[in-house]
Amino acid sequence: MYVRVLTQLRDSGYDVVSSQQLGGLLQMTPAQIRKDLSYFGRFGKQGRGYNVQFLREELRQILGLDRKWPACLIGVGRLGQAIINYPGFVPEGFNVVAAFDSDPEQIARPIGGILVRPMEDLEQAIRESNITIGIVAVPAREAQKVIDQLINAGVRGILNYAPIAPKVSMDIVIRNIDPVLSLQSMTFYLMHEDAIPIIRR
Amino acid sequence: MYVRVLTQLRDSGYDVVSSQQLGGLLQMTPAQIRKDLSYFGRFGKQGRGYNVQFLREELRQILGLDRKWPACLIGVGRLGQAIINYPGFVPEGFNVVAAFDSDPEQIARPIGGILVRPMEDLEQAIRESNITIGIVAVPAREAQKVIDQLINAGVRGILNYAPIAPKVSMDIVIRNIDPVLSLQSMTFYLMHEDAIPIIRR
């Protein structure tokens, strides 16, 4: 979120930003901004704010956002096709370099510029292309098995679109994209107008 | 997540579940499970675990998941079309009952069983259909304006698919669906294998 806001500031022509301004944009207190950034070094001079371009590049480097992250996609149904054709990934360094499906009819089909491969090729492809991220777009009933296969094949990051709560060990980095769960997490607060929503963006 | 896990347990034929078992499924400690549930009442008997069906229904009612939640969609481009045709929303009570676009060429087009309407109709439609949730699928540069329009028209819940960090007041419940941000939140941990990922699913 910091990097995104700093990119917006840079593109709007700002050279310097204060922790007050960052706090306003990120809906956090200036104290929290200063605390967050202090974990990683000294980016600002007391009373002079942060250099937008410098802070953005430092954070991108710290977070690994200045590299390429080859990823593989499992499941090339309607959702998988939407994912592989999503234009937002490549500019940010996330390239889907291999796609897999368990359905024999999908194998060798071209999709998003690559050919769909059988699940048997998974381990070899992950090793050869140095893939660290697996994107899971299979039906719910197959998702845990596929996630286990990805992890066994050496992937440590999982972006899961299946509507399940996968079980993974603590050293695996997993994020779930689940619009139904997002909606379900809102309804309590919509019923109780006096309840302050937990910030969980 | 509780409701989802309890649904899985029910469908697998379980009648009773312990806080240990729930903790295993949700990757939380049994103490946290008991603490979470104790906020809302007494669901389990000491040493006897929780009744799966009863706990599921109570939580669904507390969270408002046993009702219908009419929603509107703003933006009927490729992403908006995928959203309105997504089969996961309706069974969970989230029905897109109105769709809007600022492009005159989209108006009156049928999509997902409804006709696209002009933005000028927004306030009236929200009032008439008692819409509480707005789903935003417009380009980044238009998203803040659309979110402001939704809130002014009376919507309190926003599901935002645009890759921006919207500014909303504290009484608004907002969730962002942003796969690039999810990937970007993983890379630090993928570079530092010793860092324990923050659980942010």
In this prediction, residues B99-120 reach a mean pLDDT of 95
Of B62, B175, B183, which is closest to A182 when you measure between CB atoms?
A: B175
Please check the confidence at residue B25 and state whether its pLDDT lies above 90. Answer: no
Q: Is the Cβ pair B201, A175 closer than 8 Å?
A: yes
Q: Give contacts of A 165-194 with B, CB under 8 A.
A: 165, 167, 170-177, 179-191, 193
Is residue B63 within 8 Å of B36, Cβ to Cβ? no
- Mean pLDDT over all residues of chain A? 91
Main-chain dihedrals φ then ψ at residue A104, nearest 5 degrees: -55, -30
If DSSP codes are grouped into helix, strand and coil, which group holds residue B132? Answer: coil
> Per-residue pLDDT averaged across A65-88, rounded?
90
Residue A194 has pLDDT above 80, yes or no: no
B138 within 8 A of B154, measured Cβ to Cβ: no
pLDDT of residue A41: 78
Residue A26 has pLDDT above 80, yes or no: yes
**Cα(B16)–Cα(B108) distance, integer angstroms:** 51
How does residue B119 score in pLDDT terms, banded at 50, 70 and 90? very high
Measured between CA atoms, how close is A100 to chain B, in angstroms?
A: 19
Q: Are B98 and B82 in contact (CB under 8 A)?
A: no
Q: Above pLDDT 70, what percent of chain B?
A: 95
Interface of A with B in 64-93 (CB under 8 A): 64-65, 67, 69, 71, 82-83, 86, 88-89, 92
Q: How far apart are CA A115 and CA A118, in angstroms?
A: 10
pLDDT over threshold 60, residue A200: no
Dist. CA A94–CA A180, nearest whole Å: 25
B186: closest CA among A167, A152, B5, B178?
Answer: B178
Contact between A117 and A125 (Cβ < 8 Å): yes
Q: What pLDDT was estimated at residue B198?
A: 54
Q: What is the pLDDT of residue A87?
A: 79
pLDDT in tens, A80-135: 888 888 878 999 999 999 999 999 999 999 998 999 999 999 999 999 999 999 99
| Backbone angles phi and psi of B128, in degrees to 5 | -65, -45
Chain mean position to CA B32: 23
Stated pTM of the model? 0.77
Q: Is a pLDDT exceeding 50 seen at residue A49?
A: yes
Kind plus residue range of the DSSP H or E element containing B118 = strand B114-118
Average pLDDT of B151-180?
93
Q: How far is B39 from chain A (nearest CA, A)?
A: 14
